Amino acid sequence: MTGGSRAAALVTGAAGGIGSATARRLGAAGYALLLADIDEDKLTSLAEELANEGIDAVCARSDLSDEASWEALIRTTLDIYGRIDVLVNNAAWRVAGSLRSTTSDSWEKTLKICLTAPVFLAKAAARAMEQLNSGGVIINISSVMAERPSGLAPAYMAAKGAINNLTRELAVTYGRSGIRVVGIAPGYIDTELSNDYVDPDGENISARLISQLTDFIPLGRGGRPEEIADVIAWACSDQASYVTGTTLTVDGGFQPNFNPYSVKKLQYPEEF
């Protein structure tokens, strides 16, 4: 399918770097947008910017740790636009730290937002797509850390590893209904989420960690949110009509250059 004049897309985590870039890119392609995020102020600001660009966008403040929000977002999209053609499972949450410092509460919240919410959002979106007999595309945002753990956020990495398998399972389940499911695994992208690594003493150590990680990127730099948004838009287009059940890595060459032994080179604080 292509982004027609009234094709509708739901983007979660829309106020963040990748989410907002994706909203702009899909809006420019002709999609009407439902933008979901927990940060209402940033969400409202984004919607106003998009409106000034002639893009139809509606805000929906949503906390994906609340199970009721999952079905509600799909219903809201249908109520406003009468259809849903694209779901972008982009929202994320994590606590920086090693497995040693991970608590059960942070583990459960991370998995709920990064894994369980995408599962049930995808199910609800696919059900609506099937009822409308319209086909559609589900995009799951993964991470290179699903395949190359770094010791930075184990719950987040576990969730992203599961997301890759979820992408395959959803593709198998809904393929005959004309629904494609594509994962996108960014490497280091310059976003707010990538710049909030704090050590146990409260010191932000993001700059040091990012500098070390960048050493493993053959292109020598981190990515821009717009570079991920472009791949998402392509995956939603007819140009990707035979692409499903796979996760596309967009990382500047980081993954083949980073291995478990590389983790030892990263200088984390003790007891991080």
Residues 230, 156: contact at Cβ < 8 Å? no
Q: Which residue has the tokens 């969400």?
A: 43
Q: How many residues does the chain have?
A: 272
**Would you state the structure tokens that stand for residue 215, as one six-digit string?**
């050493």
- Among residues 257, 251, 146, the alpha carbon closest in space to that of 188 is found at 251
DSSP state for residue 193 in the 8-state scheme: G
Residues 140, 166: contact at Cβ < 8 Å? yes
- Of the candidates 31, 156, 197, 268, the residue annotated as catalytic is 156
How many whole angstroms separate alpha carbon 16 and alpha carbon 21?
A: 8
Residues 99, 198: contact at Cβ < 8 Å? no
Decide: helix, strand or coil at residue 203: coil
Residues 124, 71: contact at Cβ < 8 Å? yes
Q: Is the dihedral of CA 2, 55, 47, 196 positive or negative?
A: positive
How many whole angstroms separate alpha carbon 222 and alpha carbon 61?
A: 30
Decide: helix, strand or coil at residue 152: coil
> CA of 145: how far to CAs of 20, 158, 251, in Å?
22, 9, 11
- Catalytic residue list contains 156: yes
Catalytic residues, by residue number, are 156
